[in-house]
Structure 1
Amino acid sequence: MIYIYNCYGGTHSSVLAAAYHLKILDETHEPTKEEILNLKDFNTLVYGNRGELFFHGFDEDGNRVYVIGRGRSKVLIPGLFNLASMLDKNDLIGDRVIFSNTSPTVPLAMTFGGLFSRWLKIDFIGVPLLIRGSQEAYKDIVKLVETTKAEAQTDSSTIVILENKQFEH
């Protein structure tokens, strides 16, 4: 199976989700500043990385875990869904693909933190907001990852898109 966590920039909530999925972060406690800042790709990706898949590792079941930033695009994930469906129909892909939208878990602090840090390059304001937002969102992100894994086990579709609107703030 292939899990693809997606969000606006691909560098905050989706990175956190991948880290919980891969058990890099422990779901039993709020992550520390150091744990968050040491995550692969956390707050490092830029506009030019949108639409690029970033491999984060294999989970305990051998499934691949990726993140992708989609920006404002309403067509990227449906386009990838169509591509994966075509590859599956032609027996060119041997795995199920689960797209899981992490954006509904993003609190206001993370939104503003990303704006200040990634867009305005004002890290002394943005990074503390990102840390606060990541800590504030951690329970919802853990639940989103658990929901994503559960859906992957119960939904028999080859390609699945999870919007996760139940997590919206």
Structure 2
Amino acid sequence: MKIFYYCYGSAHSSVIAAAIHVGYLPKDRIPKDEEFLKIPYFDKTDNYEIGTPFLMGKDEYGNEVYIIGMTNEREMIKKTIISFLKESGIDLNQIHMVDTLHLVNLKTKIGGLLSRRFKLVNVGRPLTIRGIQEKYFDFVNLVMKVKRRMSEN
């Protein structure tokens, strides 16, 4: 199975969900700032990388877990990816796509904009982390729901 967590720019919400999924982040507590900074791709994806899937790792079931940014065109890009995979003979039952953008609060949005678009990393990144910390258990709940679904298949 290949699991794709997707969001706007593959720098924040998809990274957090995938990091929880593969065990980079804990499920039972809110991580400290420095724990977020150790995650691959966290607040690092550039605009030209949007649309590129990045492998975050494998989960305990051997599923490959990816992140991908899809800007405001999430449904169109998702449809394109699925159509391409189908035409390539890939079993669509082996693909699971999870939108994470609905978990992003205003702090994370503003922090991401400051950090990624305006390159004000010293201001934006801490704000992004605060926003994610506020919603952290929503991310954990989403990942646990995905894992339950995967274990049923």
TM-score, scaled relative to structure 1: 0.84
* Alpha-carbon distance between aligned partners in 1 of 2:44 and 2:121, rounded to the nearest angstrom: 11
Shift of 1:151: 2.9
For 1:124, the equivalent position in structure 2 comes to 122
Alignment check: 8 A CA contact 1:2 1:95 kept: no
Q: Matched residue pairs, number? A: 152
For 1:56, the equivalent position in structure 2 comes to 56
**Contiguous gaps of at least 5 residues in structure 1:** 157-169
Shift of 1:143: 0.8
* Alpha-carbon distance between aligned partners in 1 of 2:66 and 2:142, rounded to the nearest angstrom: 15
Q: Secondary structure at the match of 1:42?
A: coil
**Letter aligned with residue 68 of structure 1:** I
For 1:29, the equivalent position in structure 2 comes to 29
**Letter aligned with residue 31 of structure 1:** P
* Alpha-carbon distance between aligned partners in 2 of 1:147 and 1:93, rounded to the nearest angstrom: 22
1:77-156 aligned within 5 A? 77-87=78-88, 90=89, 92-93=90-91, 96-154=94-152
Q: Secondary structure at the match of 1:142?
A: helix
Alignment check: 8 A CA contact 2:103 2:139 kept: yes
* Alpha-carbon distance between aligned partners in 2 of 1:69 and 1:117, rounded to the nearest angstrom: 16
* Alpha-carbon distance between aligned partners in 2 of 1:112 and 1:28, rounded to the nearest angstrom: 27
Q: Secondary structure at the match of 1:100?
A: strand
Alignment check: 8 A CA contact 2:86 2:92 kept: no
* Alpha-carbon distance between aligned partners in 1 of 2:82 and 2:143, rounded to the nearest angstrom: 20
* Structure having the larger proportion of residues in helix: 2
Shift of 1:131: 1.1
Mean alpha-carbon deviation: is it higher for 7-16 or for 95-104? 95-104
TM-score, scaled relative to structure 2: 0.93
Alignment check: 8 A CA contact 1:84 1:97 kept: no
Q: Percent identity?
A: 35
Alignment check: 8 A CA contact 2:82 2:92 kept: no
Give CA-to-partner distance per residue, 1:5-62, whole Å, 9 cap, x none.
Answer: 0000101010000110011111100011000011000000011001101001111111
* Alpha-carbon distance between aligned partners in 2 of 1:16 and 1:45, rounded to the nearest angstrom: 13
Give CA-to-partner distance per residue, 1:51-86, whole Å, 9 cap, x none.
Answer: 101001111111100000001214111111112223
Superposed CA RMSD in Å reads: 1.6
**Letter aligned with residue 21 of structure 2:** H
